[in-house]
Amino acid sequence: MVVAGRGANTCVFLDRDGVLNRPILADGRSYAPRELSDFEILPGVPDAVAALKDAGFLTIVVTNQKDLGRGLVSQETLDEMHRRLRAEVAVDDIVVCSCVDECWCYKPNPGMLCESAQTWDIELNSSYIVGDTWRDVGAGKAAGCTTILVDGWGYKDQYRLTPDHTAQDLPGAVDLIKRLSL
C-alpha cells in the first residue's frame, strides 16, 4: 500500500468515463468517447458532485486517456470535453494519464491519486475513489482509499479486484459516502 498523502483534506476521486459521462459500450466493455458529440454528462452527476462539495470533500477527476497518447483523440477535443465537464460539474481538478504503456500514473497504479494528494494536501486513507472498472478499484486500494465501484453498466470481467462497496451510479455512491462519513 502506498501512503503518499497525510494531509488535511479529504477527497472523492472520480473516474470520468462511466461515472461522470456516458461511456461508449461495445461487447461488454467501455470506451472513452472520441468525439465531442459522444461526450454526455450523466443525469444526476452535477447535483451529486455538488453534494460532495457541500459535505466538504475535494472532487478530483482521475482518468486514463490512452486514446490521446495513441492519437485517436486530439488534445483539442479532450480539452473541450473537460471544458464542458467543468462548466456543468463543480470538480476541483482533472488529472489525465495519456501514457500508452503502463506507468506509475496509469490506473490501476496509484500515481494520479498520490500526485493529487501532494498537490492538494489530501489524506488518502480518509478519501474515496468512485470508478466503474477494476482499474479504479486497484488504484484506490494501492493508494489506501475506500473504493466504490459503479456497477450499473454490466461490463465483462468487472471483479478482478473486490471493491469496498458498490453503487448503481454516482448519486448512489454519494449517498453511500455521506452515510460512511457520518
Query: Residue 85 half-sphere exposure, CB side, CA atoms within 13 Å?
Result: 28
**Do the beta carbons of residue 117 and residue 4 sit within 8 Å?**
yes
pLDDT for residue 2: 41
Amino acid at 19: V
- Looking at CATH, the fold of the domain delimited by 11-121+134-180 is given as Rossmann fold (3.40.50)
Average pLDDT, the chain: 93
What are the residues facing 148 on neighbouring strands? Answer: 130, 165
Q: What is the pLDDT of residues 73-97, one digit of tens each?
A: 999 999 999 999 999 999 999 999 9
- List of residues 6+ apart from 140 with CB closer than 8 A: 13, 110, 113, 128, 129, 131, 146, 147
Q: Grid coordinates in use for 53?
A: 462539495
Query: Residue 90 half-sphere exposure, CB side, CA atoms within 13 Å?
Result: 13
Quick one: which of 146, 156, 141, 132 has its CA closest to 178? 146
pLDDT for residue 3: 43
Q: Is pLDDT at 4 greater than 70 in this prediction?
A: no
Domain locations in the chain? Answer: 11-121+134-180
Q: Is pLDDT at 1 greater than 70 in this prediction?
A: no
